[in-house]
Amino acid sequence: MWPKVPEGKESPQSSPVPVQAPMNAGVGSLASVVAPVVMNPASLPSQIPQSSAISAGLRIRGEITGHSDLLIDGQVQGSIRLANSKVTVGPHGSVQADIEAREIVIEGKIRGNLNASENIRLGPKSDVQGSMLTPRVAIEDGARLRGKVEMLRPGEAKRGAAAGQSKTSVISTPIAALKE
Amino acid sequence: MNWMAKQRFGVSAATAPREPAHKPGPATAVAAAPPANHRTSNGLKEFLWLINDVRNGRILDLGQVSQATLTFFIEKGYRISTEDFLRSWKEFLTAEEERLRLAPVGDEGDKISQARLAEMFLEGSLHYPEESFHGVLAWDLFDYFDAELLPRVMERLYSLLHPAGALLAMFHSRPAERFHRYRIVNPQTIELLPAPTLAVHARVFQNREILDLFGKFRSSKTFVGRDQLREALFLK
């Protein structure tokens, strides 16, 4: 099973991982790789990009934060915290990271805990190894899940987000609590 | 959760009067026949009855993840973990075969016994704290395990069960004609979903063999269906 992490401790994957390699090694900086898909140069300084993508063939390591929706069809290792956004792992996507977002859609492969304040959807080809914490979950036939599912009331998720808490520690239940 | 205590009061899930979920009215007096792949499951009914008293209970589902099963338990306040155990086992064997195929001739690695394979597989599977779960849904997995993996899995599941926890398993009375997945339709009905064959049906258990295999459990109940599927419920 996905390893449990004691409450209050960050899992290794949720720790910020410094971007290490230069672009020519296939590992780019987040600022250069997570670029908006559609940008209007004239309005760029005052607008938050609506959607960003990590395309197939790209591989990045590090912490992704911000306010943009994100489509991942490449490889990501690290942590993804887009609390008010939608994160989609496409059919070619391979993610080794905890994801915290408003909405999470998985069509590819992920090793990490998922925490969505609204909902999580697992597509028919999805392969998830990790825990899920969300008020609503939709799982299509054919999906693969190896991990724990816990449901929250929407209010619970919002309180945690408002306090700036990392939900990953909530997902990973300590052994002592399991034995209650 | 106390099977014995409940039985002491002379009530069991199979005999307790239950209100129908929907009382038939005039318009529904002629009920439609259930779909052919639905089957009444007294084992599930009794399993649910056994864990009914547990608050915030934890369930381990060893079959393919299913929205219906997940929702069923979550709506009842349970937390559920899933692990497609048979698929993991098959993938493990495939990976091992590939590793052996690529290994140099004469490599010691090609002498791995079935027992060692089973141990290696369990080193990476079913990793939960002991006594984590109040209920385990094993479906018909045991019919597909070899003689080395079977007792090891049973031991591991026993250790994962909370004291007085329940395990529901199913055993075919003759070799399964096709491979199925299972999901819960309602508290006494499961749906059999034909699926691509993941593994070959390994053996047909005699009742005595089942009882011997699960000898560590405090008690057991078996329900025999008309479809050659026996449901067995074990209480730790």
Sketch the domain layout of chain B as residue ranges: 34-102+111-235
Asked, for residue A63, whether it belongs to a domain, the answer is: yes
Q: Which residues of A touch B81 (CB under 8 A)?
A: 1, 147-149
* Cβ <8 Å between B64 and A139: no
Alpha-carbon span B133 to B80, nearest angstrom: 9
Q: What number of residues does chain B have?
A: 236
Rounded to the nearest angstrom, the minimum Cα separation between B64 and chain A is 7
Residue of B nearest to A139 (CA): B67
Residue B208, burial from CB neighbour count under 10 angstroms (0-12, 13-18, 19+):
exposed
- The answer to whether the beta carbons of residues B225 and B140 sit under 8 Å apart is no
B58–A contact, CB cutoff 8 A: yes
Range of the domain at A128: 12-30+49-178
Residue B198's pLDDT band, with cuts at 50, 70 and 90, is confident
Choose the closest CB to B129 out of A138, A146, A179.
Answer: A179
Q: Is the pLDDT of residue B24 over 50?
A: no
Residue B202's pLDDT band, with cuts at 50, 70 and 90, is confident
A149–B contact, CB cutoff 8 A: yes
Rounded to the nearest angstrom, the minimum Cα separation between B52 and chain A is 17
Alpha-carbon span B80 to B88, nearest angstrom: 18
pLDDT tens figures, B173-192: 888 888 899 999 999 999 99
pLDDT tens figures, B107-166: 665 568 889 999 999 998 998 999 999 999 999 999 999 899 999 999 999 999 999 999
3-state secondary structure chain A: CCCCCCCCCCCHHHCCCCCCCCHHHCECCHHHHCEECCCCHHHHHHCCCCEEEECCCCEEEEEEECCCEEEECCEEEEEEEEEEEEEEECCCCEEEEEEEEEEEEECCEEECCEEEEEEEEECCCCEEECCEEECEEEECCCCEEEEEEEECCHHHHHHHHHCCCCCHHHHCCCHHHHCC
State the amino acid at position A86 in one-letter form: K
Asked, for residue A43, whether it belongs to a domain, the answer is: no
Q: Which residues of A touch B74 (CB under 8 A)?
A: 149, 151
Q: Class of the B34-102+111-235 domain?
A: alpha beta
DSSP secondary structure code for residue A27 in this structure: B
Number of domains in chain A: 1
- Nearest Cα neighbor of B166 from B65, B71, B45, B23 is B45
Alpha-carbon span A26 to B78, nearest angstrom: 44
- In this predicted structure, what is the pLDDT of residue A48? 57
Asked, for residue A38, whether it belongs to a domain, the answer is: no
State the amino acid at position B29 in one-letter form: A
A30–B contact, CB cutoff 8 A: no
- In this predicted structure, what is the pLDDT of residue A37? 45
Instruction: State which H helix or E strand residue B85 sits in.
Output: helix B85-102
Q: Is the pLDDT of residue B13 over 90?
A: no
Alpha-carbon span A1 to B71, nearest angstrom: 21
Choose the closest CB to A146 out of B67, B79, B84.
Answer: B84
Q: Which two tokens stand for residue B157?
A: 């599941």
The vertex-B76 CA angle with B71 and B79, nearest 5°, equals 70
Choose the closest CB to B84 out of A139, A140, A144.
Answer: A144
Rounded to the nearest angstrom, the minimum Cα separation between A80 and chain B is 23
pLDDT in tens, chain A (180 residues): 444 444 444 444 443 333 333 333 334 444 334 444 444 444 444 455 578 999 999 999 999 999 999 999 999 999 999 999 999 999 999 999 999 999 999 999 999 999 999 999 999 999 999 999 999 999 998 899 999 898 876 555 444 433 333 333 233 333 333 333
* Cβ <8 Å between A150 and B79: yes
More confident residue, A19 or B233: B233
pTM, full prediction: 0.74
Q: Is the pLDDT of residue B48 over 60?
A: yes
| Interface-testing mutation among B37, B64, B82, B160, with chain A (most A C-beta atoms within 10 A) | B82
